Amino acid sequence: MSTSPSPDPEALREFLSGDARELAPRLLGAVLAHESREGRVSVRLTEVEAYLGPEDSLHPDPGSHTYRGPTPRNAPMFGPAGHLYVYFTYGMHHCTNIVCGPEGVASALLLRAGEIVEGMELARQRRATSKNPADLASGPARLAKALGLTTAYSGRDALAPPFGLVLPDHPAEHVSAGPRVGVSGAGGSDDYSWRFWISGDPTVSKYKAAKPRQARQHLR
């Protein structure tokens, strides 16, 4: 899928200020780039998940990090649209979100999978355990690692250097939707079918339902 040059950053930010559930399928095919000291890597997004905040009384989202309100960790989700929310999970993985919705209203899109379209060699170095190119960014932890993203980038503007976001020329023609991956409880049910992916794309991650937990639940 081809992409067109990014519009004015503020116009793009206004676009991202919409409802996460409506934006998620429209972001499929968009390209997110990160220019680091090591080089530039760009990923064409093929799978995303929408998460809302505590303000939506009609659709409270028990799968969201903001379900119980703001904390220092989830603060970027309440910030301006177009910024990054990167979190560390299970003591070993980073996952990347693009914040959306109006400022002060928490919502974000978890970037679940993508295709490396620039910086293949650098992505291979970062993801040395990958067996083929389709695996390099297939899953949120793999995508974040391929892009070289850690919590140090949480709160940074994805619409300004060293980042860049380019929207697709046209919406993806074949889009599937289903429950979010690894979300326990009601947030992972069919009532929250807020995961969207390009149908048949080889980079899309495999669906895994959350395992029941007796202890405190880990969101996402």
What would the pLDDT profile of 18-47 be if each residue is shown by its tens digit?
999 999 999 999 999 999 999 999 999 999
- Report if residue 3 sits inside a domain: no
Query: Which residues of the chain have a pLDDT value below 70?
Result: 1-7, 55-59, 212-220
Domain that holds residue 179: 9-198
Element (H, E) at 126: helix 120-126
The CATH number given to whatever domain includes residue 193 is 3.10.300.10
- Report if residue 220 sits inside a domain: no
Which class for 47: exposed (0-12), middle (13-18), buried (19 or more C-beta within 10 A)?
Answer: buried
Q: Residues with Cβ < 8 Å from 45, sequence gap 6 or more?
A: 27, 28, 29, 30, 31, 32, 111, 113, 114
- Report if residue 153 sits inside a domain: yes
- Report if residue 217 sits inside a domain: no
- Report if residue 120 sits inside a domain: yes
Q: In this predicted structure, what is the pLDDT of residue 28?
A: 98
What is the DSSP secondary structure assignment for residue 70, as one 8-state letter? -
- Report if residue 122 sits inside a domain: yes
Q: In this predicted structure, what is the pLDDT of residue 55?
A: 67
Q: Residues with Cβ < 8 Å from 6, sequence gap 6 or more?
A: 12, 159, 164, 165, 166, 167
- What is the rounded CA–CA span in Å between residue 199 and residue 70? 35
Q: In this predicted structure, what is the pLDDT of residue 59?
A: 67
- Report if residue 218 sits inside a domain: no
Where do we find the tokens 């390099």? 136
Give 127's Cβ-side CA count (13 Å radius): 28
Q: In this predicted structure, what is the pLDDT of residue 218?
A: 42
Backbone angles phi, psi at 59, to 5 degrees: -135, 65
- Report if residue 206 sits inside a domain: no
Q: In this predicted structure, what is the pLDDT of residue 219?
A: 44
Number of domains in the chain: 1
- What is the rounded CA–CA span in Å between residue 204 and residue 209? 15
Q: In this predicted structure, what is the pLDDT of residue 57?
A: 53
Backbone angles phi, psi at 38, to 5 degrees: -80, -25
Longest dimension (CA), the chain: 48
